[in-house]
Structure 1
Amino acid sequence: MSSEVWPGDWYDATGYATYYTAVGPAYHTGADLNLPHDLDRRAPVYAPADGVVTFSGRSSGAWGRLIVIRHDPLPDGQVVWSRMAHITSPLVREGDRVERGQQIASIGNAEGQLPFHLHFDIAVTDILERRPDHWPGNNLDLVRRHYVDPREFILRHRPPGR
């Protein structure tokens, strides 16, 4: 099923709204993307869609470095934000315009705090622009209010032929 969205051998180790205890009990806000056998170590991270970087830097807790992008409005006018976390070697800064498929960083391990993987989520409110390190923890209602399942969102909004 993951091959519909995540390319090749990529898989989501912790899906949207999954309850888990990796960094304390919480409901997950997005996807934890991995490759088998640590092959994701320092793999490129690409912008998922066109937009403007609203945050690029270190954050609190287990996030390490992260990037937030405010994406161009969808055809229906909806604006969404994406967050890529636990990264290393960011290639973009706040205010930079990015294009879908542009490399923006490499996959990291939250500066040694976690195994290598990419945390990827999509917010439908401006919570990530206001609070790039937002984490709703145990509050499933906040997860559902601010975030959407990134896999489902991509399946519904991916440009034709991609």
Structure 2
Amino acid sequence: MVKKNIEELVTEIVLPITEKHKFELVDVEYIKEGPYWYLRIYIDKPGGITIDDCQLISEEIDPILDKKNFIEQSYFLEVSSPGLERPLRKDKDFEKFKGEPVEVKLFAPIDGKKVFEGELVGLIDNKIVIKKDTAETVEFDRDKVSSVRRIIKF
């Protein structure tokens, strides 16, 4: 089965469980790192996620995944918080974190740069828009962006 299909099927299974507990399903990731496969489920809630929250979701979905048995490879199941410097992937993430500092990484450089930082203006016409320290706004076509992450400055 294709990685994207696995992520979509797991999302369909996990979403009702996270909603039942009033958690946000941030992302589902099925990825190979070295010789091992990982199924990572990122959850969040106001005030943050605890280890007990992660354990609760893990214990509820693990038997369902075992029963459905649609993932051919052996894998490690991880349920965790997306972290403070969470990636922004979904449209709602770009709305939720407007006005916050972000780092935008590109697949290919623009004027010799692949990494840009600034305040998130938002997602406008499928372009990620940030405002740099100089108050200049910069737009990036979404398909040219490899990642967008929140930046937490202490």
TM-score, shorter chain, exceeding 0.5: no
Which of the pair is proportionally richer in helix?
Answer: 2
Q: Specify the structure having the higher radius of gyration (Cα).
A: 2
Which of the pair is proportionally richer in strand?
Answer: 2
TM-score, with structure 1 as normaliser: 0.23
TM-score, with structure 2 as normaliser: 0.24
Higher relative contact order (CA 8 A, sep 6+): 1
